[in-house]
Homo-oligomer: A and B are copies of this chain.
Amino acid sequence: MTMGNRFITTRSNGHTVRKNGPGLVIAERFVSPYEFVPAGKEIYFEGERSAHLYLMIEGWAYQYQTLRDGRRQILDFSLPGTLLGISPGPATKMPHTAESLTGVTVAAIPREWLREIFVREPDFAMRVVSAAGDTINQAYDNLTDVGRRTAYEALARLMLRLFTRIRTQCPDTWGNSVELPLTQAHIGDALGLTSVHVCRTLGTLRRDGVLKLRDGTLTILDFGRLTEIAGDGSEVVVSPRRDKVAGKLAEGTHE
């Protein structure tokens, strides 16, 4: 970063906007700039009327709701290709918060543009609907995990799903290990468990030779057994064309 600084603005919320830098090309007329969000910063807040949709370009984020007494439910994790912030209307308050887990770059698409983009590029509308369908399926899957599976099963499933999602989204991974920038508290809040119980259950899974999670690295030890515990393989949302969204939606000018 030697000379590009005059294009870069850092906002009060810590986001960095590359004003004239490369961004997401949606239609001939619409280019939304890339925005960088450092780790642990909110992308939008619960209660906020968020003016943008965000397409994840790089990094990890997650969404959560909190109750007044501090209980927290993580709703979803977002990897590159995910469209964040789909809501019933531009005036609707977001019912949850989105926060970066690692440093994140997103393309911020103003909601005001949406209708106009749909007019010019109906395929974009198709992809937004497709992304929404993905999000719905993820949420439903999580719901079944939390509501109807034991901690052991749910944890196995979550690890399996994250593993396969990372694999399909991030082509620069191989072997049976991936980086997982999650604390046990994150995992617990995603599954409706305490971090203490996540720790114990993770221990059981390791002792059973199924998987290992240490120092932010998830290693699958026995793929067959893992899918067995996680339940029917067909129940796993493999998110078959998530990469299509990422590939075609995110045709940004990279440098």
The answer to the question of A30 belonging to the interface, with a C-beta cut-off of 8 Å to chain B, is: no
The answer to the question of A4 belonging to the interface, with a C-beta cut-off of 8 Å to chain B, is: no
Q: Please, which residues of chain B bring their CB within 8 A of the CB of A237?
A: 95
User: Shortest distance in angstroms between A30's beta carbon and chain B's nearest beta carbon?
Assistant: 14
Interface string of A96-133 (1 = CB under 8 A from B): 10000000000000000011001100110110111111
Q: Please, which residues of chain B bring their CB within 8 A of the CB of A92?
A: 133, 240-241
The answer to the question of A72 belonging to the interface, with a C-beta cut-off of 8 Å to chain B, is: yes
Interface size of A by CB at 8 A reads 56
Cα distance, A25 to B37, chains bound together (Å) = 44
Cα distance, A134 to B141, chains bound together (Å) = 17
For window 20-47 of chain A, which residues contact chain B by CB distance below 8 Å? 47
The answer to the question of A171 belonging to the interface, with a C-beta cut-off of 8 Å to chain B, is: no
Interface residues of A, Cβ cutoff 8 Å to B: 47, 63, 65, 67-68, 71-73, 75, 86-89, 92-93, 95-96, 114-115, 118-119, 122-123, 125-126, 128-137, 139-144, 146-149, 191-192, 231-232, 234-235, 237, 239-242
Please list 16 pairs of residues, one from A and one from B, whose beta carbons are closer than 8 Å in the complex, sorted by A's number.
A47-B234, A65-B141, A67-B235, A68-B232, A86-B132, A89-B240, A93-B234, A95-B235, A114-B129, A115-B123, A118-B118, A118-B125, A132-B135, A139-B143, A146-B147, A148-B192
